[in-house]
Amino acid sequence: MENPVISVEGLSYKYGKVTAVDNISFSVEKGQVFSFLGPNGAGKTTTINILTTLMPIQNGKVTIAGFDLEKQQDSVRKSIGIVFQRQTLDWNLSVWETLEFHGRLYSIPKNDRRKRIDDLINLVELEEKRNEFVKNLSGGMKRRLEIARGLLTRPKVLFLDEPTIGLDPYTRMKIGHYIREVNGEGVTVFLTTHYMDEADHLSDEICIIDRGRIIANGTSDSLKDSLGMDMIYLETDDGEKTTRLVKDMKEVTAVRPSSRGLVVSLNDEGPRFMPKLVERIRSEKIEIKSVNLKKPTLDDVFIHFTGRGLREEEQEKKKTGNGGGEH
Amino acid sequence: MRTEFLTIYWRDMKKFFRIKAMLFTSLVQPALWLAIYGLSMSTNLDLITPGIPGQLGVASVNYLTFMAAGVISMTILFTCLYSGISLQFDKYYGLMKEMVASPLPRSHILIGISLSGVTKSLIQAVIIIVFGLVLGVRFFEGFTVWSTLLSLLGVLVFIVLFAMGLLFLSVVISMRIESHEGLQGIITLLSLPLFFASNALYPIDSLPLAIKAISYVNPLSYFINGLRYFSLGSNFYSFGTYYTYSAYDMLLSLTFLLGFAIVMYLLALRTIKKAKIV
């Protein structure tokens, strides 16, 4: 088997006394779309900043495209493309000039550079904006331009840090489409996101990260399977008694409270089990207010491993007013 | 030879010509200084000291001509020091991140922006010299064509060294200060003593001791010495003071400016290598 394109062993990073990344290890195979999924402040951006040479390695060993991150920085830099979380465009340059500037920074020979720029402008559908100044582009167009820029150097790995943050659903879909197209051509993609649907649809492998640690990883399906097959949301007039009752059924793997009732995880197919469950509860004279069958999502996976939701975290942050940039 | 610094230069010059307000002010401001301050001061001063006879055979230089070198130095001082602000914007708005994440050596960033600083300074100096000649500045008077050309070459060398030194100084400051407001304040604060504790507008011989001391370690003074030597000659009389410049003086000025540029370059390189740009 080929060596992984990215291999990370025992990576840690501290801002003073605060640990942002706590001894993480993972590897990414060539041609994969690999996602880092986690709430704001989980350590995603810190990890990406280290892997892209913007921040020094404090602890751990990393190789990217076969190069040692610590000793062969320039070789790593030549092998990767980056789309940063925050916009990094010069508003006074045109679309074409932005790409030209980047290509020259990486010393791509002129003929090659000009051809690639044309191809990429086509890929991200900015032909009509070719000579438009960046300041006159919409948010989605700016993002597409940044993606084109990240691809200009024909990187072995493309790092995308929250590429769709703050964009409308149509643009998000488009960007997902480009990512798949680029990946189809053999570029390994390293993606960070806190949108679970994005991670779900795009990734071959997902790493769930929280508070600087990897808490679970695997394919989307294997992560969901680890919760049991299906889940049933149940609301009754006696939650405690229902819990006791349901827990003892052999198809049930776990019962936990949710905002309005209970979540029952199963090791059997939900539709088959549901009538049996309803019958059992009714037989004890408990009144069922609502019942709802659900396939597990990555959000459920996250809740399962951390005890809190991805979105809850975000709302909590908004309330306390520190939901801004990540470390 | 790697030439990526030209890319940085290319972008910086594009920006200079594209942001019209920046272009307009940077070209008009020095002319205004010369026209308003220069003419007002010189009509007054020339009234007070009407042709105080110099020593025999020494050219007497009017105030407008004397202070023209000062205006050139001030313009370059502000242009280069304020470049740090645009660098800080690059850092803040992330463009610096694109550069430092690329394989481009850090030194190329410095050389690229210093070249654009030098270019802007040269454009401004030419404007001041041409506009000054129209207003009555008597540069290169009595010079032959050959010696005028040689003098222009001398002026060029001094401008290049001076502008580079200031630009690197500006990098050192702007990469260390986080807030825009703080940086504005510090640059303004720094430019005051640099400009006024020098021989830009008046002779330094009669200045208070402390100010005189500053002027002796002030690169601006050495720059102006060079400018006056090349534009007015080695021997002239102005503002009640008799000036002579020997070859030794010029060598000292050149060495001082070269040393200033080298030290600032090394400091700037260290600063930009250590700067955490995320």
Q: What is the DSSP string of A130-198?
A: TTSBGGGS-HHHHHHHHHHHHHTT--SEEEEESTTTT--HHHHHHHHHHHHHHHHTT-EEEEEES-HHH
What's the total number of domains in chain A? 2
* DSSP state at residue B54: -
Q: Among candidates A52, A77, A55, A83, which has minimal Cα distance to A151?
A: A83
Residue ending a domain, choose from A223, A258, A277? A223
Distance CA A296, CA A90 (A): 43
Q: Which element (helix H / strand E) includes A41?
A: none
Q: Residue A190 domain-assigned? A: yes
Q: Among candidates B175, B168, B191, B74, which has minimal Cα distance to B117?
A: B168
Q: Residue A94 domain-assigned? A: yes
Do the Cβ atoms of B101 and A82 come within 8 Å?
yes
User: With contacts defined as CB-CB under 8 Å, which chain A residues touch B278?
Assistant: 49, 54-55
Distance from CA of B9 to the nearest CA of A (A): 11
Q: Among candidates A62, A69, A47, A226, which has minimal Cα distance to B278?
A: A47
Q: Residue A325 domain-assigned? A: no
What are the CA-CA distances from residue A21 to residues A66, B131, B144 (Å)? 23, 61, 71
| Burial category of A99 from C-beta neighbours within 10 Å (exposed 0-12, middle 13-18, buried 19 and up) | buried
- A34 with A112, same domain: the answer is yes
B100 part of contact set with chain A, CB < 8 Å: yes
User: What CATH number is given to the structural domain containing A62?
Assistant: 3.40.50.300
Q: Count how many Cα atoms sit within 13 Å of the Cα of residue A94 in the half-sphere of its side chain.
A: 14
Q: How far apart are the first and last CA of chain A?
A: 35
Do the Cβ atoms of B11 and A52 come within 8 Å?
no
Of A55, A78, A106, the CB nearest to B278: A55
User: With contacts defined as CB-CB under 8 Å, which chain B residues touch A105?
Assistant: 4, 7, 98-99, 102, 104
Tokens for A197, please give them: 């649907």
- A178 with A261, same domain: the answer is no
User: With contacts defined as CB-CB under 8 Å, which chain B residues touch A101?
Assistant: 7, 10-11
**pLDDT on residue A327:** 47
B272 part of contact set with chain A, CB < 8 Å: no
**pLDDT on residue B257:** 97
Q: Residue A176 domain-assigned? A: yes
Of B4, B95, B276, the CB nearest to A88: B95
Distance from CA of B272 to the nearest CA of A (A): 13
B20 part of contact set with chain A, CB < 8 Å: no
Which residues of chain B are under the pLDDT cut of 50? none
Of B11, B101, B103, the CB nearest to A90: B11
φ, ψ dihedrals at B126, nearest 5°: -60, -45
Contacts of B188 (CB under 8 A, 6+ apart): none
Distance from CA of A192 to the nearest CA of B (A): 16
Contacts of A158 (CB under 8 A, 6+ apart): A80, A81, A82, A83, A150, A151, A182, A187, A188, A189, A190
φ, ψ dihedrals at B223, nearest 5°: -65, -45
Collapsing DSSP to helix, strand or coil, A236 comes out as strand
> Model ipTM?
0.86
pTM above 0.80, yes or no: yes
Give CA B223 to chain center in angstroms: 7
Of B4, B10, B277, the CB nearest to A54: B277
User: With contacts defined as CB-CB under 8 Å, which chain A residues touch B277?
Assistant: 54
User: With contacts defined as CB-CB under 8 Å, which chain A residues touch B11?
Assistant: 90, 93, 97, 101
**pLDDT on residue B27:** 87
| Burial category of A61 from C-beta neighbours within 10 Å (exposed 0-12, middle 13-18, buried 19 and up) | middle
The owner of tokens 């921040």 is: A55
Sheet of strand A288-294, all strands in order from the earlier edge strand to the far edge: A252-257, A262-266, A231-236, A288-294
Q: Residue A33 domain-assigned? A: yes
User: With contacts defined as CB-CB under 8 Å, which chain B residues touch A90?
Assistant: 11, 15, 95
- A91 with A205, same domain: the answer is yes
Which of B86, B102, B272, B274 is the best residue to mutate to test the A interface, defined by the most A CB atoms within 10 Å of its own CB?
Answer: B102
Sheet of strand A18-28, all strands in order from the earlier edge strand to the far edge: A18-28, A6-15, A59-64, A67-68
What are the CA-CA distances from residue A42 to residues A21, A206, A211, A282, A320 (Å)? 8, 15, 5, 43, 17
Q: What is the pLDDT of residues B170-206, one digit of tens each?
A: 999 999 988 889 999 999 999 999 999 998 888 888 8
Of A55, A102, A107, the CB nearest to B98: A102
User: With contacts defined as CB-CB under 8 Å, which chain A residues touch B14?
Assistant: 92-93, 97
- A45 with A183, same domain: the answer is yes
Q: How far apart are the first and last CA of chain B?
A: 29
- A49 with A70, same domain: the answer is yes
Q: How many CB pairs (< 8 A) connect A and B?
A: 61
Q: Where are the domains positioned within chain B? A: 5-9+19-41+58-274
User: What CATH number is given to the structural domain containing A260?
Assistant: 3.30.70.920
Radius of gyration of chain B (CA): 20
φ, ψ dihedrals at B22, nearest 5°: -65, -45
**pLDDT on residue A66:** 93
B278 part of contact set with chain A, CB < 8 Å: yes
Residue ending a domain, choose from A159, A190, A223? A223
Distance CA A301, CA A251 (A): 19
Which of A46, A84, A85, A88 is the best residue to mutate to test the B interface, defined by the most B CB atoms within 10 Å of its own CB?
Answer: A88
Distance CA A41, CA B145 (A): 68
Do the Cβ atoms of A97 and B14 come within 8 Å?
yes
- A161 with A282, same domain: the answer is no
Distance from CA of B191 to the nearest CA of A (A): 28
Looking at chain B, the whole-number percentage of residues with pLDDT higher than 70 is 96
State which residues form the domain around A75.
Answer: 6-223
Q: Which element (helix H / strand E) includes A29?
A: none
- A14 with A55, same domain: the answer is yes
Distance CA B264, CA A11 (A): 37
| Burial category of A12 from C-beta neighbours within 10 Å (exposed 0-12, middle 13-18, buried 19 and up) | middle
Query: Tens-digit pLDDT profile for chain A (327 aa)?
Result: 568 999 999 999 999 889 999 999 999 999 999 999 888 888 898 999 999 999 889 999 999 999 999 999 989 999 999 999 888 999 999 999 999 999 999 999 999 999 999 999 998 999 999 999 999 999 889 999 999 999 999 899 999 999 888 888 888 888 888 889 889 989 999 999 888 888 888 999 999 999 999 988 899 888 887 776 788 888 888 888 888 888 888 888 888 888 778 888 887 777 888 888 888 888 888 888 888 888 788 888 888 787 766 555 455 554 444 434 444
**pLDDT on residue B57:** 65
Distance CA A95, CA B271 (A): 31
Distance CA A119, CA A125 (A): 10
- Please state whether beta strands A157-161 and A80-83 pair in parallel, antiparallel, or not at all (unpaired): parallel
**B112 near B272, Cβ under 8 Å?**
no
Do the Cβ atoms of B15 and A84 come within 8 Å?
no
